[in-house]
Amino acid sequence: MSHLSKVWSVVLVFALAREAASADPPPGLDPSVTAYPSIQAAIDANPGRMVYVPAGDHPISTKIRIHTDRSGLYGPGRIIQRVAEQPIIEIERAAGVELRDVTLTRPEGKQETSNEGVLAINARDLVVENVRVIDNQTRSAAIALRDCHGARISHCLVRNYMRVTIDDRTADLNWGYAFNCTDGTGISVRSSSGTLIEANRIIEDNLRPTPEIKARHKLGDWVKKNPEKGRLMNQQAWDAAYTDNWQQGSAIIVTSPEQSDLTRILGNHIENAAQGIDLHCDHAIVSNNVVVNSFMGMKAMHGSRNILITGNQFVKNSLWAIGLMPGVASHTKNTDGGSIIANNIVSDFGHGDAHWIWGLERSPFRFDHGQEPDDPPLADVIVQGNVLSSSGTPRYRYAVRVEGEPNAPRGLHFSNNLFPAGSGGVANTELNP
C-alpha cells in the first residue's frame, strides 16, 4: 500500500470513529435516544438512568418530562422545541436528576415564548452542567428552579433570553398600571435552598437599550391605567403615563423572601442584562462575578439578610452598581441588613448602553429607605475596601447615596474605600466609619 493510501485509510478510520461516537454513547452502555422513537420514549424506558443525546438536531413538539430519581440527559445533541407554548425540559418531584452538555433552543419564528428552557419543580440535588439555552426568549426564565433543594447550575451558557412584552401591574394597588417593556430572566430561583449558581455565562445580544429599540416598541409607554393612582406612585409619573424602568428581568434572580436561603452565586459572567443579580433571600454569597453593561449591577431587598458581596467586577452600569434597600416584603421579622460589601471594583460607571435613560443623577452605591412607610430600615452593613474607577469625568453626582427618612438606613459603616467624588461630592450625607 502506498504512503498516500495509508494516510487516507487513517483518515477514514478516524471519520468512521467520529460518526460512531456521534450516534452511540461513550463507554458505560448508557442508552441512546437513537434507539427509541423519541427522547421521551428513551427516558420512560430507562428510569433512573442517564440517556445519551448524540450530535445533531433533535426536534420535539411537547416538553420532555423527567420525573424519576437519578434520571437525566447528556451528550452533544441539540434539542429544538418547535412549539412556543411548551417548555423544553420539565423536571418535577425527582432527586439526583442531571442535565449535561446538551443544547436547548427554539427555531426561528418560535423563539418568543412564555415558557422555560429548563423548568425544575420540587427537585432535590439537581445538576445542570454545561448546558446551553439559546434563543429561548421568554418573559419567564431560560432556567427556572421552583421549590428545589441543593441544586447546582454550573458552566452553562444562556444567550438571548429576553423579549418585548407588557408588564401588567394593574392588579397591584401599589402601582396600578401596565406598560410596554423588555423582560426575561436568565436563571431564576424561587422558594429554594442550598442553591449553587457558578461559572455560567448569561448574555443578551438582541434587546440592548438603544433609543431605536425604545421608539420601535414604544417601551415605557403605559397601555393601561387604573382609575386611582397606585399607592407607591408619585403624581408626576402617574400623570406622565410613562416609566423609565422599561428594562425588566434579571440575568440571575433569587426570590421568595423568607423561603429562599443559603444561595451561592459565584464566578458568573453577565452581559447586557437589565438587572445583573437580583436578590430577595437570606444568607447569600455573591462573589467573583463580572457584571457588564447592565443598567443595575445588583440589588438585595425585600428582607434580604446576611448577604456577602465580595470580589466582584461591576463594569459600565448605569443606574447603580450595588444597591441595598427594604421593600414591600420587608417587615419586623424579615428585615434587610447584617451584610458586607467588600473588595468590589466598580469601573466606567455611567458608560453603559442605558446611560442615556438615567443621566448623571445616579450613584454607583445606593442605600435606600423602604418602599412603604412601615418598612423596617436597612441596618448594620459594612462597606469596606471597594474601588470606584472612572474614565475621565465621573458620570455620577455622588459616589454613594444614602436616602433619608422615612426609615433611613441605620448602622452603615464605611472604611478603606476608594470613592472619587462625583459632581456633587463623595456622598449626599456623612459616611460613618
Write the pLDDT tens digit of every residue in 278-313. Answer: 999 999 999 999 999 999 999 999 999 999 999 999
Question: How confident is the model at residue 256, as a pLDDT?
Answer: 94
Listed range (28-37, 188-197, 268-277, 413-422) with the worst mean pLDDT: 28-37
Q: What is the pLDDT of residue 372?
A: 83
User: What are the DSSP E strand ranges found in 233-356?
Assistant: 250-255, 261-266, 269-271, 275-279, 282-287, 290-292, 296-300, 305-310, 313-315, 320-324, 337-342, 345-347
pLDDT value of residue 11: 41
Q: Is residue 39 in a domain?
A: no
pLDDT for the residue 320 = 96
| Residue 244 pLDDT | 92
- Burial (CB count within 10 angstroms: exposed 0-12, middle 13-18, buried 19+), residue 290: middle
Would 403 be classed as within a structural domain?
yes
124, 262, 253: which is closest to 193 by C-alpha? Answer: 262
Structural domain contains residue 422 = yes
- For 363-401, the pLDDT digits (tens) are 999 999 988 888 899 999 999 999 999 888 999 999 999
Q: What pLDDT does 24 receive?
A: 54
Mean pLDDT of 224-243: 92
309 in a structural domain: yes
pLDDT at residue number 234 = 86
pLDDT band for position 159 (50/70/90)? very high
pLDDT band at 328 (very low <50, low <70, confident <90, very high): confident
**pLDDT number for residue 225:** 93
Dihedral angle at the C-alpha atoms of 192, 196, 201, 202, nearest 10 degrees? 20
**Number of continuous H segments (helices) and E segments (strands) in the chain:** 5, 40
Mean pLDDT computed over 153-165 = 98
- Per-residue pLDDT at 29: 76
Report pTM: 0.92
Please determine, for residue 107, whether its predicted confidence score (pLDDT) is greater than 60: yes
Q: Is 60 exceeded by the pLDDT of residue 77?
A: yes
Residue 44's pLDDT is: 98
Instruction: Please indicate, yes or no, if residue 57 is contained in any of the structural domains.
Output: no
Range(s) of the domain holding residue 355: 251-433
pLDDT top residue among 415 and 237: 415
Straight-line distance from the first to the last Cα atom of the chain, in angstroms, rounded to the nearest whole number: 83
Which percentage of the chain shows pLDDT scores above 90? 85
Distance CA 355, CA 319 (A): 8
What is the domain count for the chain?
Answer: 1
In a domain, 150, yes or no: no
- Position 171 scores a pLDDT of 94
Does residue 281 sit within a domain?
yes
The Cβ of residue 2 has, within 10 Å, a number of other Cβ atoms equal to 7
Average of per-residue pLDDT values in the chain: 93
Place of cell 456623612: 430
List all residues 6 or more positions away from 215 whose beta carbon is below 8 Å from its beta carbon. Answer: none
d(CA 402, CA 325): 10
Tell me if residue 5 falls in helix, strand or coil: helix
Q: What is the pLDDT of residue 25?
A: 56
99 within a domain of the structure (yes/no): no
The rounded Cα 225 to chain-centroid distance in angstroms is 29
Q: What is the pLDDT at residue 2? A: 53
Across the range 65-80, mean pLDDT stands at 98
